[in-house]
Amino acid sequence: QVQLQESGPGLVKPSQTLSLTCTVSGGSISRGDYFWSWIRQHPGKDLEWIGYIHYSGSAYYKSSLKSRLTISLDTSKNQFSLNLSSVTAADTAVYYCARGTPSPYGADWGWFDPWGQGTLVTVSS
């Protein structure tokens, strides 16, 4: 079955760029109508959807993060990546990558399954 695995630095300095990669195994990132997503969980345990990319290359971001966020796709490596610039302590969280599945009604009615194991990113000098 499809599995996802996040990788990247666990510590990022304030004002720098947070970069993470999600490697997908057990299935092609280019098949199906999935939306490959990033979700983060803050220390207080709140979950926050960040954004997604479709295999066509189109990306969609949470509006409050749009100016700092880029999600990209590398189909040759079966990976997708997140870059979040100008980070602050508020960006400290466990970052998960997840496969979004659209319902027959459309993507907006969709859910996330499976999820990667998550990676903790701390923003600190």
Q: Is 20 exposed, middle or buried (0-12, 13-18, 19+ CB in 10 A)?
A: buried
HSE-up of 28 (CA within 13 Å, CB side)?
8
Q: Given the rule CB under 8 A, which of 20-28, 67-75, 81-89, 101-109 is the region that contacts another protein?
A: 101-109
Choosing from 45, 56, 67, 76, the residue that interacts with another protein (CB under 8 A) is 45
105 binds another protein (CB under 8 A): yes
Choosing from 31, 46, 57, 90, the residue that interacts with another protein (CB under 8 A) is 46
Sequence-distant (6+) residues with CB within 8 A of 25 are 2, 3, 4, 5, 78
**What's the farthest any 2 CA atoms get from each other in the chain?**
46
Q: Closest distance between another protein and the C-beta of residue 45, in Å? A: 5
Token pair for 50: 């960040």
Choosing from 88, 109, 120, 122, the residue that interacts with another protein (CB under 8 A) is 109
Tally Cβ neighbours within 10 Å of residue 33. 13
Of 29 and 100, CB closest to another protein: 100
Choosing from 13, 26, 62, 122, the residue that interacts with another protein (CB under 8 A) is 62
Q: What is the dihedral of CA 96, 75, 83, 13, to 10 degrees?
A: 80
Choosing from 23, 118, 121, 123, the residue that interacts with another protein (CB under 8 A) is 118
Q: Which residues form the interface with another protein (CB under 8 A)?
A: 45-49, 62-63, 96, 100-101, 103, 105, 108-118
